[in-house]
Amino acid sequence: MYTLVGAPTTRAIRVMWMLEELGEPYDLVPAAPHSPDVAALNPSGKVPVLKVGDRVLTESVAICQFLADRHGKLTFPAGTVERARQDGFTQFAVDVLEGALWTAAKNSFIHPKDLRVPAVKPVCAAEFEAGLAYLAQTLGEGPFVMGEVFTVPDILLGHCSKWAQAAKFSLPSEGVLADYFARVTSRPALQAAQKRGANATS
């Protein structure tokens, strides 16, 4: 049994999605960033936090990859060329797509008002659009970024597409990327995670 600490409206949904894909049971503590429950486990106040017995793990990407490795699903084995390619898509999702989204968010409502630079947001939107163009070129023939196998970066990219919708970033309405995002975000595991998250915060 795992205990996941973090509001489902944050990156905690990635870990919920992963756990649902794996079919692993977990307790959910829907705590907000920097709340006492979170600060007691992670001094930075960031979510999600995953408790594995008496050990604490932080950072959503690291947690998702740990779970995939631990259960031998949604990942290729470490040391293989396929895993290196998979990790490349993971890094792309975090550096390029999430980087643009996160920078825009910080300069919209996260940073104190006197530190925000609203003028950077169009730059973020342009970087995001360029990232989508790259992704469209590298998707290949399979339904997922690694071909026939659904892996960790598909969760990250699917989450970024949902984040982009909320942030009003431009997403393609048709074509290979639109089909990919629709395929990934319609998975039953994500639907189950979203339903559990809504019930936990209602």
d(CA 157, CA 73): 18
> Which tens digit of pLDDT belongs to each residue from 43-59?
999 999 999 999 999 99
pLDDT of res. 201: 83
Whether residues 63 and 154 share a domain: the answer is no
> Which tens digit of pLDDT belongs to each residue from 25-47?
999 999 999 999 999 999 999 99
Whether residues 120 and 161 share a domain: the answer is yes
Q: How many domains does the chain have?
A: 2
Report in angstroms the alpha-carbon separations of 141 from 56, 89, 99, 137.
39, 15, 26, 11
pLDDT of res. 1: 86
Q: What range defines the domain where residue 165 resides? A: 81-186
Whether residues 60 and 86 share a domain: the answer is no
pLDDT band of residue 140 (cuts 50, 70, 90) is confident
What backbone phi and psi angles, to 5 degrees, belong to 43? -55, -25
The residues pairing with 51 across neighbouring beta strands, listed in sequence order, are 3, 56
- The pTM is what? 0.97
> Which tens digit of pLDDT belongs to each residue from 78-134?
999 999 999 999 999 999 999 999 999 999 999 999 999 999 999 999 999 999 999
Residue 182, pLDDT > 90, answer: yes
Whether residues 128 and 178 share a domain: the answer is yes
The CATH number of the domain where 105 resides is what? Answer: 1.20.1050.10
Residue 202, pLDDT > 90, answer: no
Whether residues 181 and 194 share a domain: the answer is no
Whether residues 193 and 181 share a domain: the answer is no
d(CA 77, CA 46): 29
Q: Which two tokens stand for residue 137?
A: 């070129």
Whether residues 169 and 92 share a domain: the answer is yes
- Between helices 152-167 and 60-71, what is the axis angle to 10°? 150
> Which tens digit of pLDDT belongs to each residue from 100-110?
999 999 999 99
Whether residues 173 and 193 share a domain: the answer is no
pLDDT of res. 169: 97
The CATH number of the domain where 55 resides is what? Answer: 3.40.30.10
SS (H, E, C) 103-149: HHHHHHHHCCHHHCCHHHHHHHHHHHHHHHHHHHHHCCCCCECEECE
